[in-house]
Structure 1
Amino acid sequence: MIEYRIEADTVGMRLDKHLRKRMPNVPVSHLFKMIRTKKVRVNGKRAQPEQLLAEGDVLTIRGTEEQLTLAERPKSDRPPPPPPPVDPSRLVILLEDDWMMAVDKPSGMAVHTGSGITGGTLVDYVRAYLGPKATRNDFTASPAHRLDRETSGVILVAKRRPAMVHFTEIFTNGHPKKRYLALVKGKMPKDSGVIDLPLAEHQQTAESKSRRGINMQAAVTRWKVVRQSSEAALLSCTIETGRTHQIRRHLVAVGHPVVGDKKYGDFALNRDVRARWGLKRLFLHAERIEFPHPEDGRKVVVETPLPPELTDVLKRAALL
């Protein structure tokens, strides 16, 4: 746990800007997630990204200094090498305006650096595409949420600070309507269903576990069969909560792991479908998102179809 008091030279600074300055190695989207999940508090109360700090405010951050500020720093004093150049023409943009972008992220592309990933991220592509316009009023365009590296599909990018604040609010309180397509093992017992199963907090520290036990978080996933065979089912899934790996963890918990899932899946099945159907990745695709626009609240719907490598798998599996 990090706790400190705001000094005179920080008075009047926005909370999100202060956190970015103090923790430059933490992705912007993660800082906003920490705020919305109450891991950042001001004077013991829930914080807001846009709130202005006052002298004497006590800022509390869940996590350790090493985890949040040192983990991604280079071990030597030499500056890290620049990330390899990316070709912004490869970026598939589904929607763009002055406030935001919706991008079709391919499988295999990480959203942020970290865990051995040093370049070629969605952040790199977005900022290369925007060029000098990537930064505005001390805010640099950043993804407003995450998708697993191996998951493809729609992801939202905030181009302005008010857009990021807006997305943080709706992900916290309104949760945008997201729909995924997943190919899972076996035959489903009925046409649709709900998985209401709490999940252990994915980023809980060992210290926290030892002090208060495993923190279980409410999680709800709704699924509907789109196509079914004796071996596998193509499901349309919507989530009412946004837990890490929620769909993957929920489906394996009910005995229908996502095909191609190297972390939670059926490894023998993964080898078999790779050989027979040519599936070389996780079969999970974020096909649709619905949300209020950050400028005026109007409803926006963005969709993207399954990529060709997944439609080819469905054809070989006799599901298309």
Structure 2
Amino acid sequence: MNLEILYQDEYFVAVNKPAGILVHRTNFAFEENLLIAERLLKEQIGQKVFPLHRIDRPTSGVLVFGLSSEAASLVQPLFPTDDVKKYYLTVVRGYMTENHGVIEHPLKKKLIGDLQEAKSEYWTLSQNEIPIASTSRYPTSRYSLLKVYPHTGRMHQIRRHLAHDRHYVIGDSTHGDNRQNHFFKDTFGMENLLLHAWWFEFVHPFTNEPIKIEAALPDYFSAICEKLGLNIPDSEMKS
């Protein structure tokens, strides 16, 4: 399969990673015939590539590679910092208490290690109440479409931070609400994680020009937003 290339020059290439594809092989993935973005892109463009960052296997969206070890070494350290602007879109259960807020809750390293500082900023882009019960507690269900900026780069950070606030990401089988996940499967036939790496921006280290990369939402994400009555933002709303 060919990956959708969003940006390419002589130093970097960015793709829109589909959900279900690993960034690179890990010690936790043992299945045969794995789809791995690093390998697929290498075969597609005919040269070695160097991942600059990771996004989770079930997450879709912008994934950036260096085309040389030198290019990768200049930008890779910037991804956990604010020198790389990175915005995600996600659908969560309920309405947020504030339309714009910050979650600062320490997270365990790799889910089991020592606590690390972690900070996620969010904006509510759209919210709606549908006349369908997803649990036995209420006759209706509320959902929100959020833009999220992870200021730090902890494992599963967005999913864990929103779960801590009990606004579970829909389709998250690890940190989410299984009642909601079953509801979406039974009602809408959807089992995908609704988390998408939407917009990345950084200053090109060789040209000093700002690089802005956007990845369109997968069809299943757009379709579920329409069914929930959530309005997907236009490009000018990213900032």
Q: TM-score, normalised by structure 2?
A: 0.86
Larger Rg: 1
The gaps in structure 2 that reach 5 residues or longer are 130-141, 232-239
> Which residue of the other structure, out of 174, 198, 203, is the alignment partner of 1:263?
174
Q: Distance in 2 between matches of 1:172 and 1:151?
A: 17
1:155-201 deviation digits (Å, cap 9, x = unpaired): 10110111111122323555411000010011211211100111111
1:223-251 deviation digits (Å, cap 9, x = unpaired): 11111123110000011101110000000
Q: Distance in 2 between matches of 1:276 and 1:303?
A: 30
1:283 aligns with 2:194: yes
Instruction: State which drifts further: 298-307 or 173-182.
Output: 173-182
Number of paired residues?
216
| Shift in Å, 1:272 | 0.4
| Shift in Å, 1:277 | 2.7
Aligned-pair identity in percent equals: 32
Q: Distance in 2 between matches of 1:237 and 1:173?
A: 15
The gaps in structure 1 that reach 5 residues or longer are 1-86, 135-139, 205-213
Equivalent residue runs for 1:62-141 within 5 Å:
87=1, 90-114=2-26, 115-118=29-32, 119-131=34-46, 134=47, 140-141=48-49
| Shift in Å, 1:275 | 2.0
Name the SS for the 1:202 alignment partner: helix
1:110-165 deviation digits (Å, cap 9, x = unpaired): 1112321443210111110122xx1xxxxx31211111000000010110111111
Q: Which runs of 4+ in 1 moved over 6 A?
A: none
Give, as a single letter, the amino acid of the residue that structure 1 aligns with 2:24: H
| Shift in Å, 1:203 | 6.6
Q: TM-score, normalised by structure 1?
A: 0.65
1:68-90 deviation digits (Å, cap 9, x = unpaired): xxxxxxxxxxxxxxxxxxx3xx2
1:165 aligns with 2:73: yes
1:215 aligns with 2:215: no
| Shift in Å, 1:293 | 1.2
| Shift in Å, 1:219 | 0.6
Q: Distance in 2 between matches of 1:123 and 1:91?
A: 10
> Which residue of the other structure, out of 220, 227, 245, is the alignment partner of 2:156?
245
- Structure number with higher helix proportion: 1
Q: Distance in 1 between matches of 2:52 and 2:115?
A: 24
